[in-house]
Structure 1
């Protein structure tokens, strides 16, 4: 849930990270952020803002700002999107299709980026909802929970449910949906939504047990391979889909593995995370497929890839089940 939306510049910074503060190339790197230097801890690792408890409201909110399209989509599925007065990060809508995409496209965009504090507060919300704690003061320019409280707005944030352990399921998503439904007084709709998501996942998942490498950029020569670690939601999606993340033992959202270690762990499938780099998904897939670092892996030899948008893999989403299905399909090849 640490991954929300990064610009190309931020992605460059992210994947320029090696194992900060460690000489061991297999030591996991910290989660990235576009936060200012003041929010960085020792060693250059960014600090996630504290995740607030769900708000206790005397009545359902009437003016809601969503910090990202993922949160907006959850409200839309729950039937309370008429309360949304604006959203940030509308690029999350790209993963949706058909009537739902058309409906989401009608939501007012108050910031095409990560949610500028001034724009959010100017919308006069009584509740601000987001799928990442980084949206609440972690990304540069976004409002903190305290700022919003002073402006009269409560905050509802999807938080880490694994408490630093490896994520093995989608509890972060189902818990957040349940919390949102409770705040809006539509608990039954929330329960139905969770049941539908669970059913779609159960239908799609595999039992292959294949080893998986998940990354969003081709490895650079002489540099560590930046992959998804064990504490991010991606690890839960991969696990539920029937795979075994080769970097699960890295207790970070993002892991830094040496090229030698990747070859040693030999991924049998590669999940290509789209939505960060400019260019098409096909270009990204081809660049990763042609990487000399990965050439000797079983995944490349057997051409076993899945391209999954970051918006439905790294964060709670009503489309997390689609991410499970895409990965499970590749694992079953």
Structure 2
């Protein structure tokens, strides 16, 4: 999958000189600009503004800002190096052994990790999913780069979310998520495993793309991501620069707010009604309990069915709702490809009947 407009941003956050090459980027580059040494080190990674961090060897004490970064490291096979996380995954969020391993990671903050705890954690690397994400809110008093340096902590980002608002255009494919996995693989010395994960994602998305190849853009159903937990007084639109826009696009949906600038933006219910979406995703945040999640989905659906502005929408009357969690859609990870599959199979059941 070739990067599109995302590539302009990826140049600022990927492994130096390889982000948009279409191949080999996961190996990194030598710190002096020459070919990489044994195991791909040294590796250079640039932040959202192009400031580079050099890794001469893999880090051994990693703190993650949230469950998305933690899950990536677990899937790369380096979960034993993670000494703490913020926004931990709820019970049952991650499947099987992955969830058991995640449960062993110390929780430094149930939400944002307090600044003092992060700086005193003893970490040699902090992986930041959020940075300036406008839609997350409440990011607290984050350490400065000078404070990170004084504590001996290198600071890198998941670019598909943390740097998304700085992109020149919308995210329309999963190249940003693939780039995050590739960079983490290079930094942690697990480049081969990263390649395998990216290949698995590409295979799933390619199958969807093939099945929907003859569906013209104008015939794709309108889709509204309803962020129920962001509040119901004023809905939060999911804009084109958010990674979820790539998920929806690859799934054959048409994000009705793809043209708003940034990653998230407050809109009005009148705006939602004017868009008249064909499908609505009930995007609730994981409660860590299946029954609690089901109740939250029910409340979100009930709100739309009874709220004067939305109860007349055809999608609401006909119950065209998707119950897919916010994290799986708006945060990066290998399961973004699974979400592409789930949305596509729901919107186009006849095209995937044989696959089921």
Q: For the superposition of Structure 1 and Structure 2, which TM-score range results when normalised by the shorter chain?
A: 0.7 to 0.9
Unaligned runs of 5+ in 2: 1-46, 350-356
Q: Which segment is superposed worse, 109-118 or 77-86? A: 109-118
Q: Is the 8 A contact 2:85 2:106 kept in 1?
A: yes
Asked if structure 2 preserves the Cα contact closer than 8 Å seen for 1:114 and 1:142, the reply is: no
TM-score (norm 2): 0.71
- Measure, in 2, the Cα distance between the counterparts of 1:109 and 1:317: 20
Partner of 2:142: 142
- Contact 2:87–2:112, Cα closer than 8 Å, also in 1: yes
1:332 matched to 2:325? The reply is no
Deviations 1:79-110 (A, max 9, x none): 11111111111036753122211121111112
The equivalent residue for 1:111 is: 109
Distance in 1 (CA, whole Å) between partners of 2:49 and 2:116 is 21
Q: Which runs of 5+ in 1 are unaligned?
A: 1-48
Contact 1:68-1:92 within 8 A present in 2 as well: no
Say if 2:120 and 2:151, in contact at 8 Å, map to a contact too: no
In 2, Cα distance between equivalents of 1:254 and 1:245: 12
Q: Shift of the alpha carbon at 1:174?
A: 0.6
How far apart in 1 are the matches of 2:230 and 2:100?
Answer: 37
Q: How many residues align?
A: 283
Q: Per the alignment, do residues 253 and 271 of structure 1 end up closer, same or farther by CA in structure 2, a change over 3 Å counting?
A: same
Please name the residue that 2:171 is paired with. Answer: 167
Instruction: Give the superposition deviation at 1:290.
Output: 3.3
Q: Classify the secondary structure of the residue corresponding to 2:171.
A: coil
Label 1:219 to 1:65 Cα distance change in 2 as closer, same or farther (>3 A).
closer
Question: Which residue of 182, 197, 201 corresponds with 1:197?
Answer: 201
Output one character per residue of 1:239-290: Cα deviation in whole Å (capped at 9) or x when no partner: 1111001111101222344434333321000011111899623222332343
- Taking a change above 3 Å as real, the CA distance of residues 196 and 276 of structure 1, as seen in their structure-2 partners, is closer
Q: Secondary structure at the match of 1:85?
A: strand
Look up the SS of the partner of 1:247 in the other structure: coil
- d(CA) in 1 for partners of 2:227 and 2:261? 19
Q: 1:61 aligns with which of 56, 59, 62?
A: 59
Please give the TM-score of this superposition, normalised by the length of structure 1: 0.76
Deviation sequence 1:54-77 (CA, Å, 0-9, x none): 631111111111111111111111
Post-superposition offset of 1:126: 0.8
Which residue number in structure 2 is paired with residue 180 of structure 1?
184
Pair 1:80–1:280, CA change in 2 (3 A): same
3-state SS of the aligned residue for 1:165? coil
Query: Which residue is equivalent to 2:338?
Result: 322
Report if aligned partners of 1:228, 1:247 keep a CA contact under 8 Å in 2. Answer: yes
User: How far does the alpha carbon of each residue in 1:202-233 deviate from its partner, in whole angstroms, 9 at most, with x for none?
Assistant: 34567361100112129989x65432121111
Maintained 8 Å contact 1:54/1:156: no
Aligned match of 2:20:
none
- The residue aligned with 1:122 is 120
How far does the alpha carbon of each residue in 1:144-192 deviate from its partner, in whole angstroms, 9 at most, with x for none?
Answer: 3332112111112012367141211122211010000011122111111
Return the alpha-carbon distance in structure 2 between the equivalents of residues 219 and 78 of structure 1: 31
